[in-house]
Amino acid sequence: MSHDPNCIFCKIVAGQIPSRKAYEDEELLAFHDIHPWAPVHVLIIPKTHIASMADVTGDHAPLLGRMAALGPRLMKELGVTNGFRHVINTGADGGQEVYHLHLHVMGGPRPWLKG
């Protein structure tokens, strides 16, 4: 499994930095965002270090599918009943702040209208 010792999300995967976990299995970790943009805001990350969507290949398709499919399950488990949003920021111009692939899943009323 690829790991970047300087990556904050790799440190979360390794248990070096605490997180409020929402889900974990052998390939994925989901945890609550520390700066939420919605009433429910989780990040789903692969445990393997992939810097961004720009680094994704066809070999990653099953992993990306699992990430996308986990979002609705978590929203349901966390009580979101009226819709949610999936967002992946890619690169500096795409608003990516942490260079470890991560899927934001945000639920609640109009999560994109952060005040």
Q: Please say whether the beta carbons of 45 and 11 come within 8 A.
A: no
**Joined tokens for residue 85:** 């949003």
Q: Where are the alpha helices (DSSP H) in 16-93?
A: 61-77
Ramachandran angles phi, psi of 71, nearest 5°? -55, -55
Bridging pattern class, strands 28-32 and 84-87: unpaired
Q: Is the sign of the CA dihedral 61, 67, 71, 77 positive or negative?
A: positive
* Residues designated as active site: 102
